[in-house]
Chain A
């Protein structure tokens, strides 16, 4: 009697984390596919021609990478909130999360479709937009810090990849990559973090539904 609930609790918790991770993974894969499509359409990112045969027009490893990153970030955010003991207070609603995602896609759209006079202008605009995104939907210092750190790491990783010739950008203006890439990463981290936090609100209910189904 004593062991039963304990074990079930443990399994439930891990189940929760797994479910959330899977969901975030899917979100990441989906966003990666869609956004990559936007970029590839405008010839911003170039992949070697032989992998292009698929409809999704990017190398096979990109969506899984993005999905994994999304899962990690989405789990990291609520975890960090809990550790710091300052729960995310700003409007915790799905409509807000949806708005956030829409703005993120819009930023990507703008980066791919709008023709700017020069790259600096584009980067500055996108930087302002992503900071605005953070201000509108997050406003937590921890979120900002994590976003910046992850954006820098991701940028470094991308630079390494480009340096090793895995893929390339059409008109690199900042050490092999486009200078707006960190902004996009930052906005993406904020968005995924937002989704992760929202999902964390429901982890319990998800588990409850599961037990009901069982």
Chain B
């Protein structure tokens, strides 16, 4: 363990230093990385381009001998495939025939009928040729059956004998059939595929020359017919071939023929990538793209999301390139198909590290310097990165010891890839990230400046202004400028939609590029031979139980027994691929040749030497594949062609005519092959494009169906949901709608400020200082305090509950502490529009009030709330309307003036700032510093304590102790004593409710006294903003950036927790001693209450954290940015966030371990915490449409109390209750 810890520390320190380095010198480091990438990729230049084109090697005919299997190392020019005998020797006899002289009595058919007819005699000659005792039968390649799938060709291709093909095969090599054939062209063309014209058609195979050069056409201007007789020899007998050559030349001399005859070309065919093999490949690439897409979506909170995503992809790609380059440098030529293993490598290497790095850096506190942020983020993740890397290396090591060559090679490759990827992550990506973060900081600065101009200078903390006099109020004009400033806060919402569009379009583009590349590969490898290829593929697969399985070709060993230089140089320079040659030749052939009509000339040029080159390079593989002979990874040797020239007299042509030939009009249906060939390419391209478009559309549809727009990060803005739009969910606890019916509790005349509940009773206090007690089960109003009418109506209040739920609604101007209402009214007067007659002289008050809500965006609810001001308020207005303007500026002194003489029935002059309810006792803390205990049922004042003069900002009532936090930072501990201890009785409860938390209930006969046991005078330097008590601890948070933990029994301060860089705004503590705190700096800290150490620290919100709730697995926080974030409690990683409606950000509560409830505009929404799904939205009532839920209290019996305006709403979630039981 020790070693591990030390290692961890060292790693973390090293990463920290590295992060500092990267962020300090971004430009040199990026230059350095680019240079190293380029250096490592340099060896790639020597690699041949990936392709499946055949490779050629030429040797002389004279001293030819079959290459031995043992490759001698000295012959460096010999390619490594040139070993052993070839599959076959190809001997072509090139026949050029013409009817000459041409006279006008001849019909077009004559151009090719008699020349073709001569093929039978030449064939006869070849078949019967015998040299010494060898005949063709003994030497030629014997073939057996055609493949079963090719029955159509059975009549045409030879079976059970020599592989010898010629145009004569169309007529089964029988002259009589040829002579009886009325339409030669039809016979030739009937085997052509109807749709796509492919390069290795039967016509090509039999004629052995490209289709347009055969001259078998009615429009043949040259009137020369060219065809070949192709003989495949299984063994090479130089003398036999020479004698055959001599014989044919002797019989049919070619006058001006200067063809070279001394070279033999060996053609090696690589393994073919067919369309069938491309399909899995394309699939893996699609999966890869989807993976990259879904990964990069997770990058959040950076300046340029796509820039970083691009950087991530570049990191992965260039690390792969680097690894290939390095492997090549050290002599490991990749024998695996790079394109095939590439997606798997990306998946293995993964983008995870990059994302984790980004996340970690982003979640560091923003107020730090960029350098430090990067360094911290790096060092936070260092351990997990190193662990992952070690694990991956281990896996790869295990893979290496499988001793399977292919896997070993993959592993070697992956190791180099991993290491280079790590290098790039550390140097390249980190630096890019630092640049991005710096840019964001600048942009943020720019954006905030105008916003701050319109806002009160400091971020208005919820409670701070109580202590300090409110800042000088800006003039109304500047206030009106706030709207645009707030718009900035809203902007991201709209931008997100734009981002979404941009995102999808980018995804489409990526897929589009992918398909275009794919089409490119198709076109590159096989311009027009798809169909033959398919046929070949199909035919290769078919033999069921046949002996002719293609031999298993072993993968080349990882370490070839050669030195790397030879490996490199052995690879021949890439041949010009047949495709361009094919095309260029085609064009050359198509050029108009000026041949005199009268006399067709047979010329032999150098282009005839290797006429087979103009054929598709799939020509030979296709031919052999018909007999289930694969040429993949093998080679054939092509012998020099034997030229044969045939001159036929016109008379001969006329003699061989078929009777139908003369009255056979030129068939209009047959197109010229030129056109056809050109069309092919277009057709393929069009087909490919079409397929691409269809693919894109399909993927897009899938995408739309599969993932809704608002995955995770921004939940469904439920304001957009229509009423009655019922979601249902199999996971959720969403009960049928009929069971969720909110119960409206009306009665308050003004806005409700304080809420307290102990599960059975519910106490609320409104601005009019009226306290109402409700039955939390039925919603009945039990008590109204005071019930004898309002002595004075006043407002301003804050309460303890507010610090949990509605902190941002707290009024900074609430500093009208204890002053008579004169000061308070104008501030609170949101109802000016309602009373224009009375307050016509204060038209600018409403915008003023908006200021108080500091960084809250304006919401229409504020202006529309409070229309229900009752007559009491009216009275109050009238009472004070004589001095309305005095309200400016209200800045009240923090130290209160002496209280008014306390009245028997309580203090009605100071407002209630805090309220707590336990049993049937209501504890209220007033702005005057008075603590009062009320009987909740009878509404009588039981006890009051006036020991302190500073206003009570927060109260905690636990067991028989009350803790009060005061405005001046002191903390008072009170003990509630009951003089008649027998008076404990269960207040009005059916037996079923006995399970509710045991809270002491005090009978009305008891004499209750409340004594100050201890007062901690300077608990905090500044005012206490939050006070929470649970598990025997009292936790306070203050404006002085610290959190303090006290023991409840002896009021002893246990810890002072420092870690925030702003005032504390939210604290959560529960029975399990989980303590979390959130501050104005937007950070959330989780503390260990037992040791006082900080467990985790995340940067969560832009602006104050307004409320915090923890469950066993996650932390839920909300901020002034109206975002609810859900964090993983153990790792501190943000799981997802929910965008709240403006102004409702702080109202949230957790009902059960997996059910979150949030407030919205006149509704509450239930969310599934595990998945971030919106389960249901409950609308609270007709009148509440525009009101936003400001406070939300979750009761023990799973009812939710929310407060909007002057109404309370009780929402029961019965099915949740069952879950709880």
Residues of A within 8 A of B (CB): 2, 5-6, 8-9, 12-13, 16, 19, 23, 30, 33-35, 37-38, 40-41, 43, 46-49, 52-53, 55, 57, 78, 82, 87, 92-95, 97-99, 101-103, 105-106, 109-110, 113-117, 121, 125, 128, 132, 168, 170, 199-209, 211
Contacts and interface: CB of A to CB of B under 8 A. Distances in A.
B404 A115 contact: yes
A61 to B, nearest CB: 17
Q: Which 6 A-B pairs have the closest CB atoms?
A: A95-B294, A98-B291, A94-B294, A205-B708, A95-B295, A114-B406
B991 interface: no
Contact of A109 (B280, B538, B736): B280
Interface string B249-284: 000000000000000000000000000110110011
Contacts of B738: 2, 5
B64 interface: no
A2 B707 CA distance: 32
Interface string B725-744: 11111111000111000000
B736 A5 contact: yes
A34 B280 contact: yes
B350 interface: yes
B294 A201 contact: no
A46 B728 CA distance: 47
Contacts of A53: 149, 538
A132 B398 CA distance: 12
A52 B149 contact: yes
Contact of B555 (A5, A8, A115): A115
A40 B544 CA distance: 12
A61 B731 CA distance: 35
Contact of B544 (A49, A115, A201): A49
A83 B404 CA distance: 43
Given A41-B276, A53-B149, A53-B538, A202 B708 contact: yes
Interface string B289-306: 011011101100000000
A5 B283 contact: no
Contacts of A16: 730
Contacts, number: 162
B730 A55 contact: no
B725 A205 contact: no
Nearest to A104: B287
Nearest to B543: A49
Contacts of A94: 290, 294, 706-707, 711
Contacts of A205: 708, 1173
A37 B279 contact: yes
Contacts of B708: 202, 205-206, 208-209
Q: Interface residues of A: mostly helix, strand, loop or mixed? A: helix
A204 B402 contact: no
Contacts of A199: 706
Interface in B549-598: 549-550, 552, 554-555
A204 B729 contact: yes
A207 B727 contact: yes
Contacts of B736: 5-6, 9
B716 interface: yes
Contact of B403 (A78, A82, A99, A117): A117
Of the candidates A53, A82, A97, A114, the one having the most CB atoms from chain B within 10 angstroms of its own CB is A114
A47 B298 CA distance: 44
A118 to B, nearest CB: 10
B555 A48 contact: no
Contacts of A19: 705
22 contacts: A5-B736, A8-B726, A13-B728, A37-B277, A40-B541, A41-B277, A49-B542, A52-B149, A55-B534, A95-B295, A102-B291, A105-B283, A105-B284, A114-B404, A114-B406, A117-B404, A121-B404, A132-B395, A200-B731, A202-B708, A204-B727, A204-B732
Given A99-B291, A115-B404, A203 B730 contact: yes
B112 to A, nearest CB: 35
A5 B295 contact: no
B730 A200 contact: yes
Contact of A106 (B284, B537, B711, B737): B284
Contacts of B727: 204, 207-208
B786 interface: no
Contacts of A57: 276, 538, 541
Given A6-B736, A46-B544, A57-B538, A115 B280 contact: no
A206 B728 contact: no
Contacts of B725: 211
Contacts of A113: 340, 406
A114 B407 contact: yes
A209 B730 CA distance: 16
B344 interface: yes
B531 to A, nearest CB: 11
Contacts of B340: 109, 113
A49 to B, nearest CB: 5
B178 to A, nearest CB: 32
A6 B395 CA distance: 53
Contacts of B1171: 92, 201
Contacts of A38: 280
Contacts of A101: 287
Contact of A125 (B294, B402, B1170): B402
Contact of A49 (B148, B284, B294, B711): B148
Interface in B1171-1204: 1171, 1173-1175
Given A5-B726, A53-B538, A117-B403, A98 B290 contact: yes
A43 B915 CA distance: 80
A54 B1127 CA distance: 52
A125 B284 contact: no
Nearest to B731: A82
Contact of B716 (A13, A92, A208): A208
Contacts of A33: 279
Contacts of B534: 55
B554 to A, nearest CB: 6
Contact of B280 (A37, A46, A207): A37
B726 A23 contact: no
A115 B406 contact: yes
Of the candidates A2, A46, A170, the one having the most CB atoms from chain B within 10 angstroms of its own CB is A46
Contacts of B149: 49, 52-53
Contacts of B185: none
Contacts of B11: none
Contacts of A200: 730-731
Contact of B279 (A34, A109, A132, A211): A34
B549 A105 contact: no
Interface in B1131-1185: 1170-1171, 1173-1175
B549 A43 contact: yes
Nearest to A167: B544
B338 interface: no
A93 B1170 CA distance: 13
Given A9-B736, A199-B706, 9 more contacts: A8-B726, A34-B279, A37-B280, A43-B541, A95-B293, A101-B287, A125-B402, A207-B728, A209-B708
B347 interface: yes
A33 B280 CA distance: 9
A48 B544 contact: yes
A202 B283 CA distance: 24
Given A9-B728, A202-B708, A105 B280 contact: yes
Contact of A52 (B347, B542, B555, B1175): B542
Given A9-B736, A95-B294, A102 B343 contact: yes
Contacts of A170: 549
Interface string B341-358: 001100100110000000
A144 B1175 CA distance: 30
A42 to B, nearest CB: 9
Given A23-B705, A41-B277, A208-B716, A105 B287 contact: yes
B871 interface: no
Contacts of A211: 725
Contacts of B276: 37, 41, 55, 57
